[in-house]
Amino acid sequence: MTDLGIGRTEDRFFPFDAVRVAVQRILNADNRHAFQYAPSEGLTEMRQELARYLTARTGRKVSAENLLMTNGASHALDLVLKKLVPAGSAVAVDDPTYFFALNILRDWDIDLRPIPVREEGLDLDRLEHEIRTRDVKMLYTIPIHHNPTGRMFSRENREGIVALAERHGVIVASDEVYQFVGDEVQESLFTGNEANILSIGSFAKTLASGVRTGWIHGPRPLIDRLAKCGVLISGGGVAPVMSLVLAQMLASGTQDEVLASLNAVYNARRRALCAVLERDLPQEVRFAAPAGGFFCWLEAPEDLDMQAVLAEAQRRGVSFRLGSDCSSAGNFANCIRLGFSYYGETRLEAAGAILCDVLKKALAVR
């Protein structure tokens, strides 16, 4: 089975040798302090090196004082909900969105308000309506190489999100884990000046998911509130030993090399699958090739039985993620999310051809 529902890196591309060298270097330097508890914001060296790294990649000054280390993007979202969102609050969320994020959101006592994702980004009129009528306290959004649609929110749309959040005092948790995957995007939602914007990053897609290290970049008052989390205080921050390894990789330029290598793989695989889809998809199915991230999004006619399409595709050795899985309201039953990061080009091309054939036959008899 070629499961195009998978959204992660193939094991053989994890940079074992690079990590091994970094570990040996920090051990040789006798960095014993990293085996002690760290500040609740995270290991100081890590935040300093990450600030330099983000400054270099984005061209915008990033300060270590505005960074808090997390156990990945999922932990970051959970932490924001825990410390900044009162119980019973309304929380706006992209529709569709990252389906596992919906599990995190549903762990909390909140009222989820889906906001449609259009071609250019979020439906800002709908977002403002929900803010005004439902007293929305937080927005969770994925504006850069969106999961699942692969769309890049326009600059005007991103600026509109920030303007609404600042005007109404709404916290924005901006999931930017795909910022440097594919066509890199310099602009984060948090630029250093906003009072309510938190940009969430992670090494899961740009190094390895198992390092479980990410960050929140935001205004110091919000970073201070997040750092007062009891788990972070008691636990001594997040993974100080792994943080020192990553700090060494950032300082030496190794992480830049790893990312360039991974992007070469991701880009080749993205182009391979997209070429098949652009060539063979039936005209009734809408598709726009993404510029980065891990996913493609297909929109079929609403009267197509996508469960039957999935069953037939699986019978022929191809699986995918249903669009309805990515909606807090159960929308997008006629849509498909396809991941291209895990399999090689030849396998992606074969799977794409099978899926296109299944869709053509299903549309012909509906």
Q: In which residue are the tokens 């993974």 written?
A: 239
pTM here is: 0.96
Q: How far is it, in rounded angstroms, from Cα 86 to Cα 137? A: 8
Q: Where in the chain is the domain with CATH 3.40.640.10?
A: 15-252
The CATH class that applies to domain 15-252 reads alpha beta
**Averaged pLDDT in 10-residue chunks for the chain of 366 residues:** 96 94 90 90 97 96 98 98 98 98 98 98 98 97 98 97 97 98 93 96 96 97 98 95 96 97 98 98 97 98 97 98 97 98 98 98 94
How is residue 121 annotated by DSSP? S
Structure tokens at 117: 């994702």
Q: How far is it, in rounded angstroms, from Cα 236 to Cα 213? A: 14
Quick one: pLDDT at residue 43? 96
CB 97 within 8 A of CB 113: no
Cis omega (within 30 of 0) on the bond before 221?
no
Quick one: pLDDT at residue 184? 86
Quick one: pLDDT at residue 161? 98
Inter-axis angle of helices 345-365 and 306-315, nearest 10: 130
Quick one: pLDDT at residue 31? 83
Quick one: pLDDT at residue 275? 98
CB 286 within 8 A of CB 278: no
Quick one: pLDDT at residue 75? 98
Quick one: pLDDT at residue 155? 96
Helices (H), 300-344: 306-315
User: What residue type is assigned to position 129 of the chain?
Assistant: H
Q: How far is it, in rounded angstroms, from Cα 49 to Cα 231? A: 24
Q: Output phi, psi for 175, to 5 deg.
A: -80, 110
CATH topology of domain 2-11+257-365: Aspartate Aminotransferase, domain 1 (3.90.1150)
Q: In which residue are the tokens 């972070």 written?
A: 232
Q: Where in the chain is the domain with CATH 3.90.1150.10?
A: 2-11+257-365
Quick one: pLDDT at residue 222? 98
Q: In which residue are the tokens 């098949």 written?
A: 276
| Cα distances (Å, whole numbers) of residue 93 to 47, 113, 114, 138, 255 | 29, 6, 5, 9, 32
CB 192 within 8 A of CB 34: no
